[in-house]
Chains A and B, each alone.
Chain A
Amino acid sequence: GEDVEQSLFLSVREGDSSVINCTYTDSSSTYLYWYKQEPGAGLQLLTYIFSNMDMKQDQRLTVLLNKKDKHLSLRIADTQTGDSAIYFCAESINDYKLSFGAGTTVTVRA
């Protein structure tokens, strides 16, 4: 995960928006992904964005990509307690392998 960096923790109040940031290094990455991991579980694909896009919206999720700065963000609108989890940013590298960030632990407080 050294090529992909994320802040480690985010605390947000229920109902507010959460923004998780990620920076990556491989400019040739064609796809960038956001995965969610709940305690003791595997990873759930939340959304992905193609590298020639700037933004993608899917219900409460908005992904912004700044390719020049190699910066990716995930915004969760109206954050709920069920959104508490670890969120991993990942970039595609050779042969469709993924390089993961260390994960951002999101805690939603009432």
Chain B
Amino acid sequence: GAVVSQHPSWVICKSGTSVKIECRSLDFQATTMFWYRQFPKQSLMLMATSNEGSKATYEQGVEKDKFLINHASLTLSTLTVTSAHPEDSSFYICSATRRLAGGTDTQYFGPGTRLTVL
């Protein structure tokens, strides 16, 4: 249980185009989903917190008009990188929270999406 998928797993696009990444919780309903960005050999940087039916909460320094997040249902959140540029090239990882026995909400991570902008 607690499987999170992302699609696509990798994408190469031209500068100026927009790219949509999907994050799905396959066998549970996620109260909250998170979007992270990871640079090579570095830790995960939280970009935004996404709750179903409401606007995402962005971390300081993350442009909300650049990284559009839509949380359409309890099992699907999408991240759209608009007008992508080479500096947006990165590994994007989503996570979905699930309540465990004992009451804690634990994050389960997707496999990540490698974005390369030429």
Contacts and interface: CB of A to CB of B under 8 A. Distances in A.
Nearest to B102: A50
Contact of B108 (A40, A45, A97): A45
Interface in A21-66: 30-31, 33, 35, 40-45, 48, 50
Interface in B69-118: 93, 95, 97, 102, 104-112, 114
A50 B101 CA distance: 12
A98 B43 contact: no
Contacts of B4: 42
A45 B34 contact: no
B49 interface: yes
Interface residues of B, number: 24
A76 interface: no
13 contacts: A40-B114, A41-B111, A42-B6, A42-B93, A43-B95, A43-B109, A45-B109, A88-B43, A96-B32, A97-B46, A97-B49, A100-B44, A103-B43
Closest 8 CB pairs of A and B: A1-B43, A43-B109, A42-B109, A42-B111, A100-B43, A42-B112, A96-B105, A102-B43
Interface of A: 1, 30-31, 33, 35, 40-45, 48, 50, 88, 95-98, 100-103
